[in-house]
Amino acid sequence: MELTQFTDFSLRTLIYVGLKNGELASIREIASSFAISENHLTKVVHGLAKSGHLKTFRGRGGGITLGKAPEEIAIGELVRELENMAVVECLRPDGGACCIAGICKLQHALRRATEAFLAELDHYTLADLITNEVDLKERLRVS
């Protein structure tokens, strides 16, 4: 059971950009700090800009900043947006093809487990993830 790399990189990107305190970040510096692919990160940043979590400015002097205050970026909500949370096929909107879907108590148990996972993440906003700003900035070499 894993989150997609897309969700993982989206969350890391928001942490990085949040640490910049309004200064512009670049895809290059984020990719370099986390030692991840610039190519993947470009798609991640595009997605987060489309959903309003990031604002991007083109050209010389351009870069990336948060599209909302860190307190307004709810982690549970973001994961719901980014991730397919149907942990088994019968929890998909189309219901899947299992013949016991609807009367299956395992389906119910897995739905409750997924809700518990997300409810835990609902305790956090981006602001909560960057309270140890000094330590994070040092590790990530954020100037």
Give the binding site for a second copy (CB under 8 A).
1-4, 8, 11-12, 15, 33-35, 75, 83-89, 97-100, 103-106, 109-110, 112-121, 123-124, 128-132, 135-136, 139-140
Q: For a second copy, which is the closer residue by CB, 69 or 106? A: 106
Q: How far is CA 92 from CA 81, 96, 104, 111, 125, in A?
A: 14, 6, 14, 11, 27
Rounded to the nearest whole angstrom, what is the least distance from the CB of residue 5 to a second copy in the complex? Answer: 9
Q: For a second copy, which is the closer residue by CB, 69 or 109? A: 109
If you search the block for the tokens 């987060």, which residue do you land on? 48
DSSP summary character for residue 125: B
Q: For residue 88, with 0-12 CB atoms within 10 Å meaning exposed, 13-18 middle and 19 or more buried, which class applies?
A: middle
Rounded to the nearest whole angstrom, what is the least distance from the CB of residue 20 to a second copy in the complex? Answer: 15
Rounded to the nearest whole angstrom, what is the least distance from the CB of residue 57 to a second copy in the complex? Answer: 26
Rounded to the nearest whole angstrom, what is the least distance from the CB of residue 100 to a second copy in the complex? Answer: 5
Q: For a second copy, which is the closer residue by CB, 9 or 58? A: 9
Please check whether residue 44 is in contact with residue 57, taking contact to mean a CB–CB distance below 8 angstroms: no
Pick the closest to residue 49 from 25, 31, 33 (CA basis). Answer: 25
